[in-house]
């Protein structure tokens, strides 16, 4: 059985780690290089770095910061934000990224996922989907959750899988930062809809939330930010709890 993964996430704005609630009211959460090193040493399975304002500000991901983080960690490193071309991906991989996450650019250029998958292999391509439950439907948003689209979660997930995505990062905008648990019902539906790994994001508040994301949400990985940044949950303790609940986890 494949082990489940724990992934701390660094949401980056102006070179600092930030965290908000429902994608709003961002506060400072620390130095991203120091946090990355800590998570690597604590036994995180992977690290995610999302430059959350790159698309809105129409600029590329902060490559120097990516390179600095990559040199301090020894775990797989996924980088996203402002990625829109083969050249963008090449630059980030050269600076130490192992995988790249695309979100808005996959929506505005529906050929991009396929192009990147063919060039770099689907194991390198994570499609991040930010979605909000509205009128009983999960609507997809882009540009850091600022712009609603005409897409709906399950349809979009199937499309990007067919186009060559190797993994999905699903963030529930309704749950983001609330610490009330992940969107497990939707996660379970998503896992039945696609055959690629799903990273759950949005809502982690306590260790039981991770157990539920794996047991009920059928997630392959769980991503969280503030509970790790502010010390609410320590990764070694979380892994022991998961193991005690019969969830296969790498120690």
Other C-beta atoms lying within 10 Å of the C-beta of residue 68:
15
Tokens standing for residue 161: 């899988």
Q: Report d(CA 89, CA 124) in Å as an integer.
A: 10
Bridge partners of 18, per DSSP, are: 11, 28
| Token pair in block for residue 18 | 């930030």
- What string of DSSP letters covers 82-124? S--SHHHHHHHHHTT-SEEEESHHHHH-TTHHHHHHHHH-GGG
Write the CB contacts of 95 (distance below 8 Å, at least 6 apart in sequence): 63, 64, 66, 67, 70
Is 209 labeled as catalytic in the residue annotation? Answer: no
- Given the residues 45, 51, 88, 130, select the one marked as catalytic: 130
In degrees rounded to 5, what are phi and psi of residue 79? Answer: -125, 135
Cα–Cα nearest to 76, from 11, 127, 126: 126
Give me the helix-helix angle, 63-70 and 32-42, nearest 10°: 30
| Catalytically annotated residues | 11, 130
């Amino acid at each position: 059985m494949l082990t489940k993964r724990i992934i701390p996430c660094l949401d980056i704005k102006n070179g600092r780690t930030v965290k908000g609630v429902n994608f709003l009211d961002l506060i400072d959460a620390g130095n991203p290089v120091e946090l990355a090193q800590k998570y690597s040493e604590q036994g995180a399975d992977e690290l995610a770095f999302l430059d959350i304002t790159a698309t809105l500000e129409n600029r590329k991901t902060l490559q120097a910061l990516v390179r600095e983080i990559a040199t301090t960690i020894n775990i797989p490193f996924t980088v996203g934000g402002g990625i829109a071309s083969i050249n963008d991906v090449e630059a980030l991989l050269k600076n130490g990224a192992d995988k790249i996450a695309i979100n808005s650019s996959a929506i505005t250029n529906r050929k991009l996922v396929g192009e990147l998958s063919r060039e770099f292999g689907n194991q390198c391509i994570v499609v991040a989907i930010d979605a909000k439950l509205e009128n009983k439907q999960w609507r997809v948003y882009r540009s850091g959750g600022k712009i609603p689209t005409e897409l709906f979660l399950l349809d979009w997930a199937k499309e990007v899988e067919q186009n060559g995505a190797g993994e999905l990062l699903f963030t529930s905008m309704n749950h983001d930062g609330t610490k009330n648990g992940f969107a497990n019902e939707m996660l379970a539906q998503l896992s039945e809809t696609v055959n690629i790994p799903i990273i759950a994001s949005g809502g982690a508040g306590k260790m039981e939330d991770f157990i539920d994301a794996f047991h009920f949400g059928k997630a392959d990985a769980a991503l969280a930010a503030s509970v790790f940044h502010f010390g609410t949950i320590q990764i070694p303790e979380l892994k022991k709890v998961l193991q005690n609940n019969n969830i296969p986890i790498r120690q």
